[in-house]
């Protein structure tokens, strides 16, 4: 499995959304610079750098990621962050490898796999920007599928960090995985004891792809979690509300450091 690694320190595994690749999460890099975290950005099966092979379901993706982390990190403690589909995989990883997981973060995460069963707000676009049209050209349709607050900065982020993954994805492999999109069991149901490591779940108030309400239904399972639903944010939350998103992630990183130090003092 391809990985882009940068930084040094405690491992932090980052998992991208469906049909994208690791580059879609690189806008978060300024949040981590100098933070003491070694970032491991994985390309999931079917993404640009990782052939799908015989993977045909989300459960097989999740199992492959667990195997990859074990191979790369052994029993080293690590944290995991996932976005959208990657968040569903991150939740699986965090529960399957809980003894060595320092914390879990999800951004616009898939908490209900079947779209027909999700609680979704109506499609809402808060701001359009005609200046993005010549900038995006033929890619305008891809961008506007999810955009809630259009801007040239957001469009440039899309072109640099998201579009390459869209273009490089194995569409046939993704179609096979999409046909079997659910995990065998939801992680919180397979491991019902509360997840007590520091967690973060960030959702977009105008996200009509995965919504926000389904994540909040798991609030009692995460007693050490910050839950945040951001206004003026759809499924492109990482760019549409980049400042708030980065601040929440920075707080999560601090809480994990404090959690580890506290546990050391009580041992």
The model's pLDDT over 150-181, given as tens digits with 9 standing for 90+, comes to 999 999 999 999 999 999 999 999 999 999 99
Q: What percent of the chain has pLDDT over 70?
A: 97
User: How, if at all, do strands 78-83 and 37-42 pair?
Assistant: unpaired
pLDDT tens digits, 20-67: 999 999 999 999 988 899 999 999 999 999 999 999 999 999 999 999
Per-residue model confidence as pLDDT tens digits over 104-145: 999 999 999 999 999 999 999 999 999 999 999 999 999 999
> Where exactly are the structural domains of the chain?
3-120+170-266
Q: Give the residue from 41, 43, 42 showing the smallest Cα distance to 6.
A: 41
Band of residue 264 on the pLDDT scale cut at 50, 70, 90: very low
| Exposure string for 90-106, b = 16+ CB within 10 A, e = fewer | bbbbbbbbeeebbbbbb
Which residues on neighbouring strands pair with residue 39, listed in sequence order? Answer: 6, 12
Query: Is the separation of the CB atoms in 184 and 59 below 8 Å?
Result: yes
Q: How far apart are the C-alpha atoms of 79 and 36, rounded to whole Å? A: 12
Q: Is the dihedral of CA 32, 34, 36, 37 positive or negative?
A: positive
Q: d(Cα 204, Cα 237) in Å, to the nearest integer?
A: 6
CATH number of the structural domain 3-120+170-266: 3.40.50.1820
> What crossing angle do the helices spanning 58-73 and 171-179 adopt, rounded to 10°?
110
**Helices 58-73 and 85-96, packing angle to 10 deg:** 60
Q: Give the three-class secondary structure for 209.
A: coil
Strand runs (DSSP E) across the chain, as ranges? 3-6, 10-15, 37-42, 78-83, 101-107, 199-204, 225-230
Contact yes or no for 234/212 (Cβ under 8 A):
no
């Amino acid at each position: 499995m391809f990985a882009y690694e940068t930084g040094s320190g405690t491992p932090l595994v980052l998992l991208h959304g469906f049909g994208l690749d690791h580059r879609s999460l690189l806008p978060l890099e300024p949040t981590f610079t100098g933070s003491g975290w070694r970032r491991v950005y994985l390309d999931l099966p079917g993404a640009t750098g990782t052939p799908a092979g015989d993977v045909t379901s989300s459960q097989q993706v999740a199992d492959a990621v667990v195997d990859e982390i074990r191979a790369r990190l052994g029993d080293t403690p690590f944290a995991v962050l996932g976005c959208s589909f990657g968040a569903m995989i991150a939740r699986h990883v965090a529960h399957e490898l809980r003894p060595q997981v320092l914390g879990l973060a999800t951004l616009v995460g898939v908490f209900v796999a079947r779209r027909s069963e999700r609680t979704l707000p109506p499609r809402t676009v808060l701001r359009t920007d005609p200046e993005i049209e010549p900038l995006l050209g033929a890619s305008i349709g891809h961008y506007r599928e999810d955009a809630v607050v259009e801007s040239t900065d957001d469009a440039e982020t899309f072109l640099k960090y998201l579009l390459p993954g869209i273009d490089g994805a194995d569409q046939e492999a993704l179609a096979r995985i999409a046909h079997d999109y659910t995990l065998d069991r939801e992680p919180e149901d397979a491991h019902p004891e509360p997840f007590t490591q520091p967690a973060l779940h960030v959702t977009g108030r105008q996200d009509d792809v995965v919504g926000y309400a389904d994540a909040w239904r798991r609030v009692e399972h995460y007693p050490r979690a910050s839950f945040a639903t951001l206004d003026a944010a759809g499924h492109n939350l990482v760019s549409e509300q980049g400042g708030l998103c980065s601040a929440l992630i920075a707080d999560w990183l601090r809480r994990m450091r404090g959690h580890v130090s506290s546990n050391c003092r009580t041992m």
